[in-house]
Amino acid sequence: MLFNADIPLLTIIVFLPLAGAASVLLAKGRQGIQGVALTTTLATFALTLLPLWQFRPEAAGFQFVEQAPWIAALGISYHLGIDGLSMFMLPLTGLLSIAAVLVSWNRIESKEKAYFISFLVLETGILGVFTSLDAVLFYVFWEAMLIPMFLIIGIWGSANRRYAALKFIIYTMAGSVFLLIGLIIMAFLHRQIGGVFTFDMVSWLTLNVPSRWQYGIFVLFFAAFAVKVPIFPFHTWLPDAHVEAPTAGSVILAGVLLKMGIYGLLRFCLPLLPEATLYFTPAIIALGVIGVIYGAFTAFAQDDLKKLVAYSSVSHMGLIVVGVMAGNLAGMQGGIIQMVNHGLSTGALFILVGALYERQKTRDMNRLGGMAARTPVLATFFVIMTLSSLGLPGLNGFVGEFLLLLGAFRYQWWIGALSATTLILGAVYMLWMVQRVFFESDRSGRSETPSDLSFREQAVMIPLTLLVFAIGIYPAYLTDRIATVSRQLISAPAIKADSPSETIRLAAAPVPVPIVMKNRGGDER
């Protein structure tokens, strides 16, 4: 054992950033504040690796469970645990939090203490969402992470930061209201059916929610999580938030916060409301496909680098929605993997866009060019992350996109065909961006030669790049650990699509695996 089983590992992971925030409050001087923030994020990331090493992939249910009474009279407990769905989101959050601190090192010139406190509180909120097994606790963390992100955008963002921050908080808080109503209804249903008023999410899994309740509760949950993904047409807050947020804010927003919407759909809607899930699946898949195509075309029309990457996220998240709602093992595994992959590649792209802006004082592609010759290291990392986002074989993006498209084709061939347009359209706007910024003639009008990536910036990019190659070369580490939870998520009678014994294992460079699949009607494909 790597640690004593009596040690509340998840509690330490979740609240260590909050303790770090308190330490930042007491820190003196710029270096002291930055040092405490960096040390806290490094320690938190190191702790998130422990569950990976001791996680049992074959075990069903939650692991590393911690539970204690909280507000017993209302059926509320302090209940933490992780499974294959949440396991990889912890180290992803930890790694990107380190990146957020490092890219902010020399870029925040005012209210530094409040800035780093906000990021550490935000990290606690995110980690709490991914580990909570009590619905009220989940909601507390869900709300807790909104405030620091609102402050990060509204205080340290660009010229239109107040508008973007207000739009972000209105959209997300409105979704939170629907979420809270749905959680309360579920607690009352548990009392009506199970005889106990409780917000314990594990106990909810045993409920057979009546059909007359499923549809309404599903709409409430979907409204909350669709805004967070964001699914078309609830996406309009995202480009504004990305453009106005500081670089570190965009990294966390794209890398982790967007995944919480998908996580909510998988944690609440599919296992608790299978009949409603089946009913609404065609409509949700349609919205996902529209998001794929709309996001791609809108990205192509952008001149601002940040907006282009932001709309590419709308397209990528649409594809994930299609995959996880397809009701088969390939799509589900692809969706969970792509949550990690998108966090790595898109988070890295926002870091590099921020580095470009810091050197050229513009994100307008019409005023950029020739950066490959002047900043070759930056250009190399940018090209790698672009190819990762495109799904080049051998890189991490290919693994997720391959499984997502496989799942989409097995749902309906024409859904798969429409979803596959992301490969063509993504290649068009992403490679066009790289060509304009790095390989065309310089249009900036600046005579001085910009500096290349510093040692600190390279220290951020190297681990992300290594993970991009590692996942692309050996994806089995991820697929093996999410196989059990993927089967569980598609095993509800109303949405069962695959045989319970099926597993997709990808060892090296992914290749098509012949698997006997069944559609929703049960006939083999």
For the chain, the domains span 9-495
Block residue for tokens 């060019």: 369
What is residue 105's three-state secondary structure?
A: coil
Q: What burial letters (b/e) apply to 435-474, b meaning 16+ CB within 10 Å?
A: ebbbeeeebbeeeeebebbeeebeebbeebbebbeebbbe
Per-residue pLDDT of the chain (525 residues; tens, 9 = 90+): 344 557 899 999 999 999 999 999 988 888 899 999 999 999 999 999 999 888 888 887 899 999 999 998 899 999 999 998 999 999 999 999 999 999 998 877 778 899 999 999 999 999 999 999 999 999 999 999 999 999 999 998 888 889 999 999 999 988 899 999 999 999 999 999 888 999 999 999 888 888 889 999 999 999 999 998 889 888 888 888 888 889 999 999 989 998 999 999 999 999 999 899 999 999 999 999 999 999 999 988 888 899 999 999 899 999 999 999 998 899 999 999 999 999 999 999 999 999 998 888 888 888 888 888 889 999 999 999 999 998 889 999 899 999 999 999 999 999 999 998 888 888 888 999 999 898 887 766 666 777 888 899 999 999 999 999 999 999 999 998 898 888 888 875 444 334 333 444 443 333 333 333 334 333 333
Which structure tokens are listed for 181? 């109503």
| Separation CA 249–CA 244 (nearest Å) | 9
Phi, psi (deg, nearest 5) at residue 262: -60, -45
Global pTM value: 0.89
Burial of 288 (0-12, 13-18, 19+ CB in 10 A): buried
d(C-alpha 510, C-alpha 512), whole Å: 7
Task: Quote the CA–CA distance of 177 and 175 in Å, as a whole number.
Answer: 5
